Every structure is written in structure tokens, then in C-alpha cells.
Amino acid sequence: MPIINRIAEFHTDMTAWRRDIHAHPELGYEEHRTSDIVAAKLAEWGIAVHRGLAGTGVVGTLKGRGEGTRAIGLRADMDALPMPEANTFDHASRHDGKMHACGHDGHTTMLLGAARYLAETRNFDGTVHFIFQPAEEGRGGGRRMIEEGLFRQFDCEQVYGLHNWPDLPANTIAVHPGPVMAAADQFTITVEGHGGHAAIPHKAVDPVLVAAHIVTAVQSLVSRFTDPADSAVVSVTWVQAGTAYNVIPDEAKLHGTVRTFNEATRARIEQQLGRMAESIAAGFGAKASLEFRPGYPPTVNTEAEARVVAAVAAKVVGETNVSWAPDPTMGAEDFGYMLRERPGAYIWLGHGARGNDGHGGPGCRLHNPHYDFNDDILTTGASYWATLVETILPRSA
């Protein structure tokens, strides 16, 4: 069963929905028009609609045939990015400074396509919750839906997600049996010294020098405190200190990000980062303090569910087009919160690098101002969702 025939018939409609959403991008928690469209279509197809989780979130609930009590959740994200679009085609953004450059217009459309098909056929036994979340891009709409009762109101045994992936050829699928994306945390280290004249340094405690030692030392958190078979990133990306060439300032600040795939490594780096900063500062007679701001958790698939989705993917795109256990990436995903609550799996759906990136590059990646979602994969994604439901919640023979 490759692309489901009935879904192939939706291609023209799905392309029109996708381009309409693309032309009207909305930022996180402001997806009013988009969620109105989603809710109206689900209702039109006879799917029960719940609105208001995390503000603009929409959940559609559809029961299959039979008496099955099992339920699963399928999630799509709806938000755009605060960036101007460089494309000039007809469906380019009509909202200044906002753009669907991550393909969430396509994700929303693919889940709608699957919902329409499943509502027509109901060839499954159990319940599907179609979860349309706001604010994936850094603002934690998925986390907020959970906090506001997503899984209490819509109990799902398992939850599934996907993201288009320009680095993979169109209509291929990659499945990870464990970590897919990293945790993304932020930190600020404040170094307090004692300011003074740059020509009289021995009467001051120089926080710039202390900060420089800290920047160098924290690189050993990965090379000497993290198992070489594990992965982590510690990047100091923003250094703030001083106002003049002849003044030693009182204070220096270091800001940066930590990326990890497992919670133990994440906790150890946080602890060690603070200890290192404090002890280095103490050695210079200064003081340092760490503020660690946890961001998205790692997105980690459960292996049993990953195996199921790999088999479903093979049915849809063919076994040779499914890659198993490719390297994960250090990017982060709000869906990590959902996978912390329920078993499940998040796949990468190959998108292909299309067009050019505006610098003569071979194709657009995510968040590029020339990016546009590839409509050729809409029916693949919708068929994947529908096949997943019919596989996990089969009708008894």
C-alpha cells in the first residue's frame, strides 16, 4: 500500500490549503486564522472539535468502527517564524515579517488530509486525537497544551509526530530508535569583579580575564566530562563586559546554550558548569554565578514504537526509502515534551532540497527565507498518518 488512492485524490485540495496557510503565516499563540481553518475543516468532516488548549490549540477526536477503547495522538504544529519571506510566487507571505519557513503549513495540511480520509473511511477500531499545536518555534505550545490538560482530557496511549527534512530526498522517511533531537538549554554566567583603571590592574579584580578563563574551561565539559559515545554541545555565544578601553569593568556576563540527548548528561553539565565558573572565579578573587534556563527536553523515541512506525513507513514509501537510526541532530523540538509523557515516535519525512538558498546553494534548508514546503510530499505524509492509524488500531477481522 503506497500512497493511499483516496488521499492521492486530495492532492489538489491539499495543495490549495497548504498555499493558503503559507500566504497567511501566524506566529506562536497567534494562530487564530489557521486554527479557525483547522477547526472548520475537522467539523465539516464530522470530527469532534475541541479548542482553546494553549490558546489557539485544536484537538479533533475521531472514533473508528467497532468498540475498541484504545486511543492514539497525532500531532502537527501550526506556527510560522518572525522573518521576512524572500520568495515572490503567488502564495508568498502576505504578512510582513512573518513566514512559514519551517514547513508547519505542510505539517498542518498533511494531518488535515489524513483526518479527512480517516473520517470518510473509519477503517480502524479505537480513537484518534488529531493534535494541532501552537507555538512550536521556541515558545513551548506543546508543553502548554500538556500543562493545560491535553493528556488528561484526551488520553492517548501513544503519541506521534513528524517533521519535513530537506536534507533527505523527497518521499523518504528516517526513523530513530532513540534520540532524534537534542535538549536546548540556555545559560548566563555573571562574573563579579572589582572595577578600576586599566593601567592599575593590581588594584582591581578583572572580570573580563576571569570570563575568558571560564569560556576556555567550559569547553572541557564536552571533551572531558561527557562520555565520548554520547554527544553534547556547550557554546558560549554572547559575551558582555565593559564600556571603555581604559576601564576594567565591575562585571562580565557570558551567555550560551547547552545541547544534550540524555537527561543525566544534561544534569551533569548544568552542575559542572556552575561549579567550574564559581571555582575559576574564586581562584581570581572574583565571584561567579550560573543561571541555567531549561528549554525543550530531548526528543527521544521509544524503540518499540519506532519499530512500528518504520514498518508503516516501509508500507508507504517502500523499504529501500526508509533509513533506520541515522544520526540525530542537535536542533530541538517541542514534541520532546509529549514524548516525555507518552511512548511514541517522531519521524523525519524527506522533503528534498529545492530551489536555491539565495546564495547559489543547492537548495533551501529550514528557516531559509527562500524555503517553500514541497507539495509533492503532502500525500505521502497524509498516507503515512492514515496507515499508522490503520496499523496501530486495526479492525478485527
In the complex, the residues that contact Zn ion under the rule CB under 5 A are 102
Q: How far is the CB of 366 from Zn ion (least distance, A)?
A: 5
Kindly give the interhelix angle for 11-23 and 104-121, rounded to the nearest 10 degrees. Answer: 140
Cell digits for 156? 492517548
C-beta of residue 159 within 8 angstroms of C-beta of residue 91: no
What is the identity of the amino acid at 209?
L
Q: In the chain, where does DSSP find H-type helix? A: 5-8, 11-23, 32-44, 104-121, 141-147, 150-153, 207-217, 220-223, 263-283, 303-317, 335-341, 378-392
Q: How far is the CB of 19 from Zn ion (least distance, A)?
A: 18
What is the identity of the amino acid at 131?
I
Euclidean distance between CA atoms 375 and 120, whole angstroms: 23
- The residue among 105 and 251 lying less far from Zn ion, judged by its C-beta, is 105
Question: Which helix (DSSP H) or strand (DSSP E) does residue 185 occupy?
Answer: strand 183-192
SS3 content of the chain, % helix, strand, coil (to 5): 35, 25, 40
- The residue among 144 and 190 lying less far from Zn ion, judged by its C-beta, is 144
C-beta of residue 196 within 8 angstroms of C-beta of residue 345: no
Give the CA angle between residues 43, 150, 59 to the nearest 5°: 15
Q: How far is the CB of 386 from Zn ion (least distance, A)?
A: 22
- The residue among 102 and 241 lying less far from Zn ion, judged by its C-beta, is 102
Q: How far is the CB of 385 from Zn ion (least distance, A)?
A: 17
Side-chain half-sphere CA neighbours of 114 within 13 A: 31
Q: How far is the CB of 391 from Zn ion (least distance, A)?
A: 25
- The residue among 6 and 365 lying less far from Zn ion, judged by its C-beta, is 365
Closest CA to 140 of 338, 292, 349, 300: 338
- The residue among 168 and 241 lying less far from Zn ion, judged by its C-beta, is 168
- The residue among 166 and 179 lying less far from Zn ion, judged by its C-beta, is 166
- The residue among 166 and 256 lying less far from Zn ion, judged by its C-beta, is 166
Euclidean distance between CA atoms 117 and 124, whole angstroms: 12
Q: How far is the CB of 136 from Zn ion (least distance, A)?
A: 6
- The residue among 102 and 388 lying less far from Zn ion, judged by its C-beta, is 102
The C-alpha cell 499545536 sits at 133
Q: How far is the CB of 161 from Zn ion (least distance, A)?
A: 10
Closest CA to 353 of 369, 333, 373: 373
Q: How far is the CB of 62 from Zn ion (least distance, A)?
A: 25
Residue sitting closest to Zn ion (CB)? 102
